[in-house]
Amino acid sequence: MRVHKNLMGIALATTAMSFSLAGGALANDDVQGLISDSKNWAIQTGDYANTRYSKLNKITKDNVKNLQVAWTFSTGVLRGHEGGPLIVGDVMYVHAPFPNTVYALDLNNDGKILWRYEPKQDPNVIPIMCCDTVNRGVAYGDGKIFLYQADTTLVALDAKTGKVAWSVKNAEVIDGSKGESGTSAPMVVKDKVIVGISGGEFGVRGSLTAYNIADGKQAWRAWSMGSDKETLIDPEKTTHLGKPVGADSGTNTWEGDQWKIGGGTTWGWYSYDPKLNLIYYGTGNPSTWNPSQRPGDNRWSMTIMARDADTGMAKWLYQMTPHDEWDYDGVNEMILADGIEIEGKPRDVLVHFDRNGFAYTMDRATGELLVAKKYDPAVNWATEVDMDKDSKTYGRPKVVDKYSTQVQGEDVNTTGICPAALGTKDQQPAAYSPKTKLFYVPTNHVCMDYEPYKVNYTAGQPYVGATLSMYPAPNSHGGMGNFIAWDAAKGEIVWSKPEQFSVWSGALATDGDVVFYGTLEGYLKAVDKDGKELYKFKTPSGIIGNVTTYEHKGKQYVAVLSGVGGWAGIGLAAGLLAPENATAWHGAVDQGRAQGDEAAVIGTAGLGAVGGYAALADYTTLGGQLTVFTVPE
């Protein structure tokens, strides 16, 4: 690894950052203090509750129409740009997809580069990154910037200089030979930094790991499946829908040793409740995508987990999609909202918009399931979630046989399943406004055909076992996305704004009564609390990054990364619209299975997304740019 150093003698002009902490235990206080000052954007999710809400209000529903570009910055990388910049005091930290370059920019000096860090990584990591070479951003704490590289190396960089303080290998190997990769944003909690793992499509067994921020030593690791000791589950004290999970819950719903390659990876977002000292996150799909090869509920894939931040011990779990048959990863963010009135009683809740098309409202202290409703009316794979506490199937979805890939069987193309595997929402985070008590959700309005087939497991090789095609949901007039407002107490859509393509960016809600999001064509859009469009501006490339805001020298700014890619944009990002590239992709993934003529080969490449989003190439192209907006004086 190497560090490029520019202007190392310049002192960062900021009083908000504290580089002289007495010890790691104070790091959380430091981060919490920075978060509480809305001038900063000191954590990828805006706050520990994942609300993506800012108290800044100088940009309002009345003046947002006057937004102009203040400045731009190129990352120098042409792949999918997820996540967003951090703003800590007078310094902005910008990240890029592989090779995961990090830049520190001086906001007092026209965004001058204070330092850059470009890790050296084995390029063999690139082909094992399922759905583009994305990275969801860096974290700050204890005077350090934490970068989680594609090869799963977690690096602590001195925030003033960019020098490496320590680094640690999170996966078993970092050369891609086991299929492990890193795409998630770390989260600093108290004296620890939390990271997950990617690679469910390669049979990687998921885990969440905490490292001491002072020296990088592992504090705890909680596996998604395995023995009670490995999963950090107490058979008597850890509950699922209010009942103890019992012994061996992480292995006894798997056949034999399949849990060892069980998936359940943890590449989404993490939240934290300081009062309860609980970390919340979701686990991904079980491996393989062929459900006939892994009978049972496949616990604890597809699960919301609440764990003690100090020890990693699980307090409660909830499996949303037992025996997943559709690749409905459960990794989407957990949003923590206080005082949501349900049945006349205010509750402190966790709200989760799952890939499976259901939005869940839960008591975040106990894991009680309060609401579970579809947030896209097109969802058809299940009729509802059983909410009868006296039922044997309480909390389980009521699956429709017509859309069950298990019931229809291996080598059968089950058609018309809604949503598609990329879900009613993928990892693109929603926002919550405590002013309106509404959640603002970027969604996909996409369905699929799904044909599972038998595959063999080889370490480091794709372990998928399904061919997919994707297309707009019926009666949607070709639109593939909606930006919606959601009432989590009632489980109802308040309003829905259609978009031509899936809304793949993270949302932002502000005290100025403006909600922002980006589109795959590249537009930054602003709407009011009723969904009325107030402003739009087309950036150089499609937006899959998350909109952020900050204040500097008395002015409020809005910032977003553009650079089309991710799963929806993989056709453009990886060049899979070209027949020869699509053929090569299938050759690497399908274990010799024939995929038909040229149109079929292209259409089903990228796990089905290439054909579904082929028209995106008519509206945008590759890019890698940060665009910063403000209202001129």
Cα torsion for 350, 355, 358, 360, to the nearest 10°? -10
Q: Which helix (H) or strand (E) holds 562?
A: strand 555-562
Tell whether 310 is in a known binding site: no
| Rounded average pLDDT over 445-455 | 98
User: Does residue 10 surpass a pLDDT of 50?
Assistant: no
**Which ranges of 505-553 does DSSP label H, i.e. alpha helix?**
none
492 is in an annotated binding site: no
Summarize the confidence of residues 354-382 as an average pLDDT: 98
For residues 557 and 92, give the distance between their C-alpha atoms in angstroms, rounded to a whole number: 12
Q: pLDDT band at residue 17, thresholds of 50, 70 and 90? A: very low
In terms of Cβ atoms closer than 10 Å to its own Cβ (0-12, 13-18, 19+), residue 175 is: middle
Cα(265)–Cα(279) distance, integer angstroms = 16
pLDDT score for 19: 34
Sign of CA dihedral 505, 506, 511, 515: positive
Residues 9/10/13/19 CA torsion (nearest 10 deg): -30
Distance CA 317, CA 321 (A): 12
327 labeled part of a ligand binding site: yes
pLDDT at 2 over 60: no
* pLDDT > 70? residue 160: yes
| Secondary structure of residue 60 in the 3-state scheme | coil
| Angstrom distance (rounded) from CA 91 to CA 521 | 29
Domain limits, the chain: 27-630
**What pLDDT does residue 8 have?**
31
Q: Which of 30, 90, 151, 327 is catalytic?
A: 327
Structure-block tokens of residue 123: 């390029």
Which amino acid is located at 628 in the chain? V
136 is in an annotated binding site: yes
Q: Is the pLDDT assigned to residue 177 strictly greater than 50?
A: yes
Paired residues of 342 in beta bridges: 345
Rounded alpha-carbon distances, angstroms, from residue 19 to 15, 22, 37, 189: 10, 9, 17, 17
- List beta partners, residue 115: 5, 104
pLDDT at 316 over 90: yes
When pLDDT is averaged across residues 591-597 and rounded to a whole number, the result is 87
Residue 26 has pLDDT above 80, yes or no: no
**CA–CA distance, 127 with 130 (Å, rounded to integer):** 8
The token pair that represents 79 in the structure block:
């792949």
Tokens of 163: 């020098």
Give per-residue pLDDT as tens, 254-294.
999 999 999 999 999 999 999 999 999 999 999 999 999 99
Asked if residue 201 belongs to a known ligand binding site, the reply is yes
Distance separating alpha carbons of residues 38 and 550, to the nearest angstrom: 7
What is the assigned CATH class of domain 27-630? Answer: mainly beta
Active site residue 215: no
Model confidence band, residue 178 (pLDDT cutoffs 50, 70, 90): very high
Helix (H) or strand (E) holding 602: helix 598-604
SS3 of residue 574 by DSSP: coil
The answer to whether 285 is a known ligand-binding residue is: yes
Q: How far apart are CA 331 and CA 303, in angstroms?
A: 8
* Beta strand 86-88 pairing with 508-510: unpaired
Indicate if the pLDDT at residue 538 is higher than 50. Answer: yes
Secondary structure class of 126 (helix, strand, coil) = helix
